[in-house]
Structure 1
Amino acid sequence: MKYRELGNTGRKVSEVGFGAWAIGGSWGDVSETDARSALHAALDAGTTFIDTADVYGDGRSERIIAQVLNERGGARPFVATKAGRRLSPHIAEGYTKEALTNFVDRSRDNLDTDTLDLLQLHCPPTEVFYRPEVFDALEGLVQAGKIGAYGVSVEKVEEGLKAIEYPGVASVQIIYNIFRQRPADLFFREAKAKGVAIIARVPLASGLLTGKMRADTKFAADDHRAFNRDGAAFDKGETFAGVPYDLALEVVEEIRRLTPEDTPLVQFALRWILMEDAVSVVIPGARTAEQASANTCASDLAPLPQPVMEELREIYRRRIAPYVHQFW
């Protein structure tokens, strides 16, 4: 495992982290035994960055993380969580100092820690980025010792650009994968110049870039890949990166032809993300120990050849960009 600076936080973390959405909920049934095994496998492989949220299984993900870390003992990895999506209705006016403090206190209890390493606003309404008082409230939580740093998780590049105008924003979490290449056009350069950490999420396009899905693949009723393809529950860009499923399956086969025979597609897709030095950490999810271990191996791969990178950009421009580029 290789390690990278987490922006200006003063911390180094594994370049492949552990995305803990799947062990919380909305990915079909994942037993607690499998969830714990997946997290243990990632940590055993050198992972030192975990990303979760208070709404993943209504706190289940956070609680499983706390249990595993307490069981293992020793130096704790860097744990980032998110808050805001518990608001109902989820509106900008709800992002008050009181609400954020309550969310933070609940996550501190769930994660069994006095200070959250990193609190991220969880894809808030765009208007929140134009409310300085929200970021003042986050500064207050830092001063109170309840959070070590704060950042944002965003849906749109424009939201990320606005967020990094606030000097206290330590990180931006954004969707970045072979199917969602726009962040590299401008945003990464601006974030890197300001020392803002970039956390790349949905790196495998909800599993499409594992190469294991087919036209007849069935998803459980409580799996967002079944119920959120059109954005019924949250932004549709979170599901299959917003790419039409049948088209994505075709493009996956184009990408597979560029993948070395001895390299699993999942690791190839993660290594593509790590070719961008502005990325601090990529956070693939895992439902099993085998998946978690396979994800971490991406850090060991050699850099992808430049001709391959150029072909992947051309595939994106020709097949995918018309469906996603100007939307997110």
Structure 2
Amino acid sequence: MKYRKLGNTEEQLSTLGLGCMGMSFAYGPSDDNESIQTLHSALDLGINFWDTADMYGNGANERLLSQVLKENREKVFLATKFGFRFRTNNASDSNSPNTYFDGSPTYVKQAVEASLQRLGIEVIDLYYAHRVDPNVPVEDTVGAMADLVREGKVRYLGLSEASPESIKRANTVHPISALQSEYSLLTRGVEGKIMDTMRAYNMSLVPYSPLARGLVTDTFKVENLDEKDFRRTLPRYKGDKLDNNLSLKTELQELANQKSITMAQLALAWVLHQGNDIIPIPGTRKIHRLKENAAAVDVNLSEEELQTISQLLAKYPNVGERYNEGAMRLVNN
């Protein structure tokens, strides 16, 4: 494994982290034993950057990780997030009316205590606001997060899906080390102003869904998704948007085949080539996919290959929105 520095810190994180959401949430049935084996394999591969959130399975994902953290805390740089709350006791996806976002200082302090307890740890390495609450000044949310740093409950702070203005305002209160946003061959909204602002503050970009939720992998087929898999509800998995994306994938696959790598490795290598301050967190709950993803850190793309990819992206622009309308209202506030 190779390593990259986290933003304005001296922390060395694995160039590819591990997104743990799918082990407990959103993508249909999972097997805790299989997920735990995958977590141990991540340690064997040198993947020391793990990402979770309190809302993944309504706390279930943090409790799952605690089983491995118990004996391996010093080996893991652990990130978790707060802010989404459930109106009922039934966990559901963040597009549901059963969820709402709470970035209030009162809830920040309530949420961190619950996460620490579920994770079974004394300090969270990187604590994100899962979104920027449009009803709460970002200075107030980050101010409460900064209190947690002073109290020794959190080491570094992050934002997720924040606008350039929110990034600037947050950094006036406390240094923000990372911005977590969706970024992939199909999702490039952070390019330009958001990335420029992030870099002005020496932050890292932590792309989630760098494989476009599986769309740009060799084996993806919509018809194989579980009935409860929330991807079935997303615009880019339907109709002409899906046709566009599958056509793009077919041509990208040809390039991957020429390089004797998988489509997933090509997609991850492209993200990694966008800057040394980028640390993607592809998610998986299967060991063979974990190993496949990890090998992407050794894939080099030439300028000619990068240009070919750019031309293909321009050829197939009709990728569709990454979330439904309700969830998009909480993006880039």
For normalisation by structure 2, the TM-score amounts to 0.85
* Equivalent residue number for residue 192 of structure 1: 199
Which of 170, 178, 186 is the aligned partner of 2:185?
A: 178
Q: Percent identity?
A: 26
Which of 154, 166, 172 is the aligned partner of 2:170?
A: 166
What pairs with 1:48-197 in structure 2 (closer than 5 Å)? Answer: 48-71=48-71, 73=72, 75-86=74-85, 88=87, 94-128=102-136, 130-154=137-161, 159-167=163-171, 168=174, 169-197=176-204
Do the aligned partners of residues 195 and 202 (structure 1) sit closer, same or farther apart at CA in structure 2, a change above 3 Å counting?
A: same
Do the aligned partners of residues 271 and 193 (structure 1) sit closer, same or farther apart at CA in structure 2, a change above 3 Å counting?
A: same
User: Structure 2 CA distance, aligned partners of 1:244 and 1:44?
Assistant: 39
User: Structure 1 CA distance, aligned partners of 2:319 and 2:22?
Assistant: 29
* Equivalent residue number for residue 92 of structure 2: none
Unaligned runs of 5+ in 1: 231-238
* Equivalent residue number for residue 203 of structure 1: 210
- Following TM superposition, by how much is the alpha carbon of 1:12 offset from its aligned partner in structure 2, in angstroms? 0.9
- Following TM superposition, by how much is the alpha carbon of 1:81 offset from its aligned partner in structure 2, in angstroms? 0.3
In the alignment, structure 1 residue 225 sits paired with structure 2 residue 231: yes
User: Structure 1 CA distance, aligned partners of 2:146 and 2:305?
Assistant: 43
1:86 aligned counterpart, secondary structure: strand
Write out per-residue CA displacement over residues 184-204 of structure 1, whole angstroms, 9 at most, x where no aligned residue: 333223312211121011100
* Equivalent residue number for residue 300 of structure 1: 298
**Preserved contact between residue 267 and residue 295 of structure 1 (Cα < 8 Å):** yes
Count of matched residue pairs = 310
Do the aligned partners of residues 127 and 311 (structure 1) sit closer, same or farther apart at CA in structure 2, a change above 3 Å counting?
A: farther
1:262 partner amino acid:
S
2:84 aligned counterpart, secondary structure: coil
- Following TM superposition, by how much is the alpha carbon of 1:56 offset from its aligned partner in structure 2, in angstroms? 0.9
* Equivalent residue number for residue 236 of structure 1: none
User: Structure 2 CA distance, aligned partners of 1:229 and 1:255?
Assistant: 22
2:59 partner amino acid:
G
Do the aligned partners of residues 276 and 127 (structure 1) sit closer, same or farther apart at CA in structure 2, a change above 3 Å counting?
A: farther
**Preserved contact between residue 139 and residue 169 of structure 2 (Cα < 8 Å):** no
2:170 partner amino acid:
Y
Do the aligned partners of residues 90 and 143 (structure 1) sit closer, same or farther apart at CA in structure 2, a change above 3 Å counting?
A: farther
* Equivalent residue number for residue 14 of structure 1: 14
- Following TM superposition, by how much is the alpha carbon of 1:15 offset from its aligned partner in structure 2, in angstroms? 0.7
**Preserved contact between residue 50 and residue 78 of structure 1 (Cα < 8 Å):** yes
Do the aligned partners of residues 24 and 160 (structure 1) sit closer, same or farther apart at CA in structure 2, a change above 3 Å counting?
A: farther
2:209 partner amino acid:
V
User: Structure 2 CA distance, aligned partners of 1:98 and 1:31?
Assistant: 35
* Equivalent residue number for residue 233 of structure 1: none
- Following TM superposition, by how much is the alpha carbon of 1:278 offset from its aligned partner in structure 2, in angstroms? 4.7
Do the aligned partners of residues 90 and 22 (structure 1) sit closer, same or farther apart at CA in structure 2, a change above 3 Å counting?
A: closer
**Preserved contact between residue 160 and residue 172 of structure 1 (Cα < 8 Å):** no
What pairs with 1:22-33 in structure 2 (closer than 5 Å)? Answer: 22-33=22-33
User: Structure 2 CA distance, aligned partners of 1:252 and 1:161?
Assistant: 34
User: Structure 2 CA distance, aligned partners of 1:175 and 1:27?
Assistant: 17
**Preserved contact between residue 207 and residue 240 of structure 1 (Cα < 8 Å):** no
What pairs with 1:230-269 in structure 2 (closer than 5 Å)? Answer: 230=235, 244-259=241-256, 260-269=258-267
CA RMSD of aligned residues (A): 2.5
> Which aligned runs of 4 or more in structure 1 are off by greater than 3 angstroms?
87-92, 124-128, 321-325
Greater displacement, 135-144 / 185-194: 185-194
User: Structure 2 CA distance, aligned partners of 1:36 and 1:160?
Assistant: 37
User: Structure 1 CA distance, aligned partners of 2:152 and 2:216?
Assistant: 40
1:67 aligned counterpart, secondary structure: helix
2:207 aligned counterpart, secondary structure: strand
Do the aligned partners of residues 127 and 251 (structure 1) sit closer, same or farther apart at CA in structure 2, a change above 3 Å counting?
A: farther
- Following TM superposition, by how much is the alpha carbon of 1:103 offset from its aligned partner in structure 2, in angstroms? 0.7
Unaligned runs of 5+ in 2: 88-97, 323-327
**Preserved contact between residue 213 and residue 249 of structure 1 (Cα < 8 Å):** no
In the alignment, structure 1 residue 312 sits paired with structure 2 residue 320: no
Do the aligned partners of residues 65 and 91 (structure 1) sit closer, same or farther apart at CA in structure 2, a change above 3 Å counting?
A: closer
For normalisation by structure 1, the TM-score amounts to 0.86
2:207 partner amino acid:
A
